[in-house]
Amino acid sequence: MKKSINWLIFSFLLVITLVLSSCGPAAEEELATEEEQEVAHPGRIAFVSNRNGNDEIYVMDADGSNPQRLTDNSVEESAPSWSPDGSRIAFVSDRDGNLEIYVMDANGSNQQRLTNNPAEDLAPSWSPDGSRIAFESDRDEIAKIYVMDADGSNQQRLLADNLTADGGPSWSPDGSRIAFWSIRDWRWDLYVMDADGSNQQRLTNNPDPESDPSWSPDGSRIAFWTMHSIHNFDIYVIDADGSNQQHLTDNTAVDWNPSWSPDGSRIAFTSERDGNSEIYVMDADGSDQQRLTDTPSFGNSSPSWSPDGSRIAFNSGRDGKFNYEIYVMDADGSNQQRLTDNPDIDWQPAWSPSAQHAGGIAYAGNLGIMGNVERSPVDPTNSEDRTRRRAIIATTSTVIGAVFEVLG
């Protein structure tokens, strides 16, 4: 009976967290052509917009100019993730009736479906060498981590021996290991494994759920957030071998979404400590915490570092209810500039990598608890929220089902 109660409590927290993550937060565009963009443009930003009625993937220059629509379907497409060399973009689409992972060239051409099954596949994460993609799928009736070659072949489920949920795959910078969250022993903790699924090691062992593992650029540390309650998340960092866990933020509000600067010296994050969602930055040891944005509106979220570390792109709702736009600012918070300007929602900014920082990609948009989490305004009439809800259902349906089975 004790296990049943613990499982019920955990499942409740999981559902609350997923719901919280989904309700918290220019010139005329044209389809890109091969002549306009035969190769990647370092410094470009991919993003998602529903300006044409449904979520589509766009790209623009780092100053907001030259916006181009890469996908053009009557369905939802999201979670753009650049390949390390900037030549391709992986993304999630339900154009075939359920969430699948696709890939396209950086100019939007050569769109190919990589996964094909009746379940939900999402949260694509490129290996640093660009040869493989890790992702999450509930094809086995519960969230699991898979890996496939970049062309979609050789799909393999990792952690086949674990019968509960695994997710949030995050590649180490050298591509040899994958950090992830897992539900085991009635706890939701962080683990690390070799890229083939072997040599699993538990990194944390705490009573509170932990998620969003993010490797430091040198691969020596992993940042993550812990949910102490539905109104209190904190950011921690731990050595890659599980030692030296440090509590970086410590207040009664929500601090989450840690994002390392390319040189590993600083961490940008989202915080609600001042009553609304704002972007903060701190040194890698948690010192010198500074607020970069200050807009008492729908707030700011999802900080994404430029490859050279000089700028940060982010979402902002400062321009009106249910009208998120993409902004960019200098790394010290100065020179804040709006890059997109339309009455609908633009979100999930993802910088293209540069030749000098191949593999050091900051990206956002993994849906729900699966991977990076971001807050955005809830509007039941817009297509963005419908897509997020599908991801939430895909992640939690089996957990809730298990609760009923245990209690039944």
Residues 128-159: b if buried by 16+ CB within 10 A, e if exposed: bebebbbbbbbbeebbbbbbbebebeebeebb
Give the pair of three-digit tokens for residue 258.
């840690």
* Residue type (1 letter), 86: G
| Residue 277: φ, ψ to 5° | -75, 120
Q: Are 105 and 67 in contact (CB under 8 A)?
A: no
**pLDDT score at 361:** 24
Q: How many CA atoms lie within 13 A of 318 on its CB side?
A: 18
Count other Cβ atoms within 10 Å, centred on residue 394.
Answer: 22
End-to-end CA distance of the chain: 12
Q: Are 363 and 80 in contact (CB under 8 A)?
A: yes
Fill in the DSSP letter of residue 118: S
pLDDT one digit per residue (tens) for the chain, 408 residues: 333 333 333 344 444 333 333 343 333 444 444 444 334 444 799 999 988 888 899 999 999 999 999 999 888 899 999 999 999 999 999 998 899 999 999 999 999 999 999 999 999 999 999 999 999 999 988 899 999 999 999 999 998 878 889 999 999 999 999 999 999 888 899 999 999 999 999 999 989 999 999 999 999 999 999 999 988 999 999 999 999 999 999 989 999 999 999 999 999 999 999 888 999 999 999 999 999 999 877 789 999 999 999 999 999 988 766 688 999 999 999 999 999 988 888 888 999 996 333 322 222 222 333 333 333 333 333 334 433 333 333 333 333 333 322 323
* Residue type (1 letter), 273: R
**pLDDT score at 11:** 41
Tell me how many domains the chain contains: 1
Name the residue range of residue 367's domain.
2-407
CATH code assigned at 274: 2.120.10.30
DSSP for 119-166, written as a single string: S-EEEEEE-TTSSEEEEEE-TTSS-EEEEEETTS-S-EES-TT--S-E
Give the pair of three-digit tokens for residue 322.
């249910």
Separation between Cα atoms, residue 100 and residue 121, nearest integer Å: 5
Q: What is the CA radius of gyration of the chain?
A: 19
What Å distances lie between residue 343 and 124, 264, 266, 320, CA to CA? Answer: 29, 36, 34, 9
